[in-house]
Amino acid sequence: MSLEGRIAIVTGAARGIGAATVKLFVARGATVVASDKDAEPLAALASELPEGRVVTLAGDVAEEATSATLVDTALERFGRLDVAFLNAGIAGDLTPTHEYSNAMFERVMAINTNGVFFGLKHSIRAMMAGGGGSIICTSSVQGLQACGFTIAYTAAKHAVMGMVRTAALEYARHNIRVNAVNPGVTDTAMMQHVGDSLAPDDPDSVRAEFTEAIPMGRYGTPEDIARMVGFLASDESGYITGMPHVVAGGMTAHWAPPMQVPVE
């Protein structure tokens, strides 16, 4: 699944799934323009990788200018864009819907949905000019199914599925493929946030409950997800577009998460 010579952009690249994907892309031969709101861990990631293979750019994906600059940087530095991994996202609050704050709802949508929209818009204009490409958007198992106490996150990740399907149809004849990766419970700062929110005094108990609900009996690793993204970025997936790709240890075969309890 070579990505030799490919030019890629990655958002949410400083840690977790994004960072693992930057590493995998570089290991398979790509050069990456990596972006995150946090400049420091992003620079640390780039410094671990071979010189010249990762260009970094700090920015908030909720601002359209971040996506525009990211794509323009790839074009100016490397002349084209082959792969876009639109991955930045936040979990938001874990709160019942009638108590969910409007401000947090808007922030989750601004990052997880608008950010992907801006990334699609600017990547597509570059890929149309360049004759094609592969775009992978990070949705979630919550882009396909619901989970309690996460109204904004579940809505945002469903919206990502809608955008993936729409863009896939519109640009299939331009040789641009658009797919979603749908991680299950993955061992990153985001799941740490979920544990800390649900049981501040005992986040490990949340981990134990989630682990119990996963048929394979373990959290996914960022590398588990990155391997799917690498496949979708490569020519090996050349006839696949507009689809979800669940990487979840069997969770969606029959998922019974601890958070499906009804609101009291």
Ligand X SMILES: NC(=O)c1ccc[n+]([C@@H]2O[C@H](COP(=O)([O-])OP(=O)(O)OC[C@H]3O[C@@H](n4cnc5c(N)ncnc54)[C@H](O)[C@@H]3O)[C@@H](O)[C@H]2O)c1
Judged by CB under 6 A, the chain residues 72 through 91 that form the site for ligand X are 87-90
Q: Does 229 bind ligand X (CB under 6 A)?
A: no
Q: Does 189 bind ligand X (CB under 6 A)?
A: yes
Q: Does 209 bind ligand X (CB under 6 A)?
A: no
Contacting range for ligand X; rule: CB under 6 A; set: 25-33, 55-63, 68-76, 122-130: 55-63
What is the token pair recorded at 104? 């947090």
CB of 157 to ligand X, least distance (A): 7
- The helix-helix angle for 39-48 and 16-27 (nearest 10°) equals 30
Q: Does 17 bind ligand X (CB under 6 A)?
A: yes
Contacting range for ligand X; rule: CB under 6 A; set: 33-41, 73-81, 118-126, 252-260: 33-41
For the four alpha carbons of 62, 65, 71 and 73, in that order, the dihedral sign comes to negative
CB of 64 to ligand X, least distance (A): 12
The residue count for binding ligand X (CB under 6 A) is 27
Closest among 113, 116, 137, 123 to 228, alpha carbons compared: 137
Q: Does 92 bind ligand X (CB under 6 A)?
A: no
Q: Does 114 bind ligand X (CB under 6 A)?
A: no
Q: Does 12 bind ligand X (CB under 6 A)?
A: yes
For the four alpha carbons of 35, 40, 43 and 49, in that order, the dihedral sign comes to negative
**Which of 100, 153, 171, 219 is flagged as catalytic?**
153
Judged by CB under 6 A, the chain residues 119 through 158 that form the site for ligand X are 138, 140
Residues 109/111/112/114 CA torsion (nearest 10 deg): 70
Taking CB under 6 A as the criterion, the residue among 183, 195, 230, 249 binding ligand X is 183
Distance of CA 25 to CAs 3, 32, 53, 206, Å? 7, 7, 10, 32
What is the token pair recorded at 248? 């979840």
Q: Does 34 bind ligand X (CB under 6 A)?
A: no
Q: Does 172 bind ligand X (CB under 6 A)?
A: no
Q: Does 70 bind ligand X (CB under 6 A)?
A: no
User: Closer to ligand X at the Cβ: 36 or 93?
Assistant: 36
The question of whether 239 is a catalytic residue gets the answer no
Taking CB under 6 A as the criterion, the residue among 7, 18, 147, 149 binding ligand X is 18
Q: What residues line the site for ligand X (CB under 6 A)?
A: 11-12, 14-18, 36-38, 60-62, 87-90, 111, 138, 140, 183, 185-186, 188-191
List, by residue number, the catalytic residues.
153
